[in-house]
């Protein structure tokens, strides 16, 4: 008997999840979105089997309900679900970036809720950008609710297995603490660095110099402001704790700079380098990231088309290309971005085999 899976919200995440779940032979994927045009697009693109004409009716038939909406909207849907005629054994999940708020809301429910957070994304948005490979090798965190038993978790894991994501189970508090360190707070730092650049009025050429490494380390500041407003307010306590720790760290660094002795400053950078160099370079982390390859190429006509031609022949997809004009302490002149670490490794091997150019992973 087919499992009926209702996905509410057909943006990048909901659409990609629906597309990946289509790999199940015994699944009926039903999609719902407040934008009727989005639902029609999803159906025409083959992302869903059927469009939900009525949310309540579709929910009543579902074995799994996945709320692929922002956390605020998901909380409202959970409140509404108390008045839906749901199956007794239905499993409800979400895809939100913060977990403590949604898990608190789920405590009022009479049905099994298992929070979810697929840690993957894209530089594109909307159902048109949906990819069935979006979650491959990415972490997919589950946060079980009060009514969730091991059998329910196993059922959801089995459903998600076709996404090829790395499914891990955490508490909501663990999730929000960890993501505050490696995702949420870094967005605030990136935004603050851009604000500091914006304050620079004396030397306008500074913005041109920012086109290199500065632009790379502040890339995440270009993320959706509404989404990050919500994440910051929903995980405010954890982020504030990280901010206080950051202020302590900056105070220590300020003391180092005021003393201005060479060896302690060298040791500070040495420790940072050592810790950073030990971080894994394969797979997705807590933040959406493309996988960059830096290539030293000469400034001659046709060299970029030569490289992209080789990659096209080997069916290696490039997400983005950019030329670095400011390259202090950065490898290469051409940056090629890929969707997966595997594609980056294939590209590096291809360039090494077919050209004399050096390619680096920074």
Q: In the prediction, which pLDDT does 278 show?
A: 87
Confidence of residue 331 (pLDDT cuts 50, 70, 90): very low
Look up the pTM and report it.
0.79
Confidence of residue 326 (pLDDT cuts 50, 70, 90): very low
pLDDT at 332 over 90: no
Poorest-pLDDT segment among 10-24, 91-105, 204-218, 284-298: 284-298
- Token pair listed for 118: 């697929």
Q: In the prediction, which pLDDT does 273 show?
A: 92
* Residue recorded with tokens 């692929």: 68
Q: Reduced to 3 states, what is the DSSP secondary structure of residue 112?
A: strand
Q: How many residues does the chain have?
A: 362
Q: How many CA atoms lie within 13 A of 330 on its CB side?
A: 22
CATH numbers and ranges of domains, the chain: 3-170 (3.40.50.720), 175-277 (1.10.3660.10), 291-360 (3.30.70.330)
**Residues 254-277: tens digit of each pLDDT:** 999 999 999 999 999 999 999 988
Q: In the prediction, which pLDDT does 242 show?
A: 96
Confidence of residue 342 (pLDDT cuts 50, 70, 90): confident
How crowded is residue 160: how many other Cβ atoms within 10 Å of its Cβ?
A: 22
- Angle at which helix 185-199 crosses helix 225-234, to 10 degrees, equals 130
Looking at the chain, the whole-number percentage of residues with pLDDT higher than 90 is: 67
pLDDT at 303 over 70: yes
Pick the closest to residue 127 from 226, 231, 34, 220 (CA basis): 34
For residues 114 and 146, is the Cβ–Cβ distance under 8 A?
A: no
Q: In the prediction, which pLDDT does 106 show?
A: 95
**Residues 280-296: tens digit of each pLDDT:** 765 555 555 668 888 88
What is the average pLDDT score of the chain? Answer: 89
Q: Mean pLDDT, to the nearest integer, of 226-238?
A: 92
pLDDT at 171 over 80: yes
Looking at the chain, the whole-number percentage of residues with pLDDT higher than 70 is: 93
Residue 141: beta bridge partners?
Answer: 117, 168
| Cα–Cα distance list, 159 to 32, 104, 164, 165 (Å) | 19, 24, 11, 11
Q: How far apart are CA 62 and CA 30, in angstroms?
A: 9
**Residues 34-77: tens digit of each pLDDT:** 999 999 999 999 999 999 989 999 999 999 999 999 999 999 99
Q: In the prediction, which pLDDT does 327 show?
A: 42
- 197 burial (CB, 10 Å; 0-12 / 13-18 / 19+) is middle
**Residues 102-135: tens digit of each pLDDT:** 999 999 899 999 999 998 876 677 899 888 888 8
């Amino acid at each position: 008997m087919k499992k009926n899976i209702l996905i509410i919200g057909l943006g990048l995440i909901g659409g990609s999840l629906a597309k990946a779940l289509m790999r199940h032979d015994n699944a009926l994927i039903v999609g719902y979105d407040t934008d009727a045009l989005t639902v029609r697009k999803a159906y025409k693109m083959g992302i869903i089997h059927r469009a939900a004409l009525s949310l309540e009716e579709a929910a009543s038939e579902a074995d799994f309900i996945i709320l692929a909406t922002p956390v605020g909207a998901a909380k409202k849907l959970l409140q509404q679900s108390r008045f839906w005629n749901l199956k007794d054994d239905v499993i409800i999940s979400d895809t939100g970036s913060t977990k403590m708020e949604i898990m608190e809301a789920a405590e009022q429910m009479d049905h099994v809720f298992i929070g979810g957070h697929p840690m993957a994304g894209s530089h594109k948005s909307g159902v048109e950008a949906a990819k069935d490979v979006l979650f491959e090798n990415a972490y997919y965190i589950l946060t079980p609710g009060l009514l969730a038993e091991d059998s329910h978790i196993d059922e959801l894991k089995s459903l998600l297995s076709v996404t090829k994501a790395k499914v891990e189970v955490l508490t909501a508090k663990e999730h929000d603490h960890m993501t505050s360190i490696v995702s949420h707070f870094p967005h605030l730092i990136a935004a603050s660095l851009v604000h500091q650049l914006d304050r620079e009025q004396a030397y306008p050429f500074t913005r041109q110099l920012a086109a290199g490494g500065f632009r790379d380390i502040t890339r995440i500041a270009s993320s959706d402001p509404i989404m990050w407003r919500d994440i910051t307010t929903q995980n405010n306590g954890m982020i504030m704790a990280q901010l206080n720790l950051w202020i302590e760290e900056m105070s220590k660094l300020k003391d180092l700079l005021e003393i201005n002795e060479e060896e302690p400053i060298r040791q500070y950078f040495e420790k940072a380098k050592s810790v950073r160099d030990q971080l894994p370079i394969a797979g997705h982390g807590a933040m959406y990231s493309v996988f960059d390859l830096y290539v030293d190429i000469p400034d001659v006509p046709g060299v970029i088309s030569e490289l992209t031609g080789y990659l096209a022949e080997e069916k290696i997809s490039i997400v983005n290309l950019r030329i670095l004009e400011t390259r202090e302490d950065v490898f290469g002149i051409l940056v090629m971005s890929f969707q997966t670490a595997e594609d980056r490794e294939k590209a590096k091997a291809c360039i090494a085999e077919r050209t004399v150019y050096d390619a680096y992973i920074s």
